[in-house]
Amino acid sequence: MAYWLVKSEPSVYPWEQLEKDKETVWSGIRNYAARLHLRGMKKGEEVLYYHSNEGMEIVGIAKVAREAYQDPTTDDERWVAVDLEPFKRLKNSVSLDQIKQDKKLKDMALVRIGRLSVQPVTDKEWAEVMGLAGEK
């Protein structure tokens, strides 16, 4: 199973809204690298939910509810969307500062390629973030 991270500004679509909605279309992504990652997501895989710009912290875990399909926000068939559903709010959110200070996470895409809105997370990075969050 692969792990992922998606970013959303809390003023646009916060974690609490995902919990309320129960499922959402993750659409409108117009970055080629992010598109490749969306295409790689498989149903049931876990996704770190990161609040960007405000808060700048990982706040929850979502799951892929539906694999890549034509993005409904465009007629351009090259762009895809996935559906996400909330799985679990983290016991403790994990800030970008915490991540940057953790030597085990120095190569995490969130640190290296900060602007990428959809990114892979390695097994080791996932385990380290779960530890920082107080999760088993």
Please enumerate, as own/partner, the contacts of 28-34 that have beta carbons within 8 Å and a separation of 24 or more: 28/71, 28/73, 28/81, 29/71, 29/79, 29/80, 29/81, 29/117, 29/118, 30/79, 31/116, 31/117, 31/118, 33/113, 33/116, 34/116, 34/117, 34/118, 34/119
* 52 contacts 93 by C-beta, under 8 angstroms: no
* 49 contacts 4 by C-beta, under 8 angstroms: no
- The whole-number pLDDT of residue 82 equals 98
- Which domains occur in the chain, in start order? 3-133 (3.10.590.10)
- Is the pTM above the cut of 0.85? yes
User: What pLDDT digit, counting tens, does each position of 8-25 carry?
Assistant: 999 999 999 999 999 999
- The whole-number pLDDT of residue 67 equals 98
- The whole-number pLDDT of residue 99 equals 98
User: What pLDDT digit, counting tens, does each position of 46-71 carry?
Assistant: 999 999 999 999 999 999 999 999 99
DSSP E strands, 1-136: 3-8, 24-26, 46-51, 57-70, 80-95, 118-121
Residue 36 to residue 12: CA distance in whole angstroms = 23
- The whole-number pLDDT of residue 1 equals 87
**pLDDT category of residue 114 using cuts at 50, 70 and 90:** confident
* 89 contacts 51 by C-beta, under 8 angstroms: no
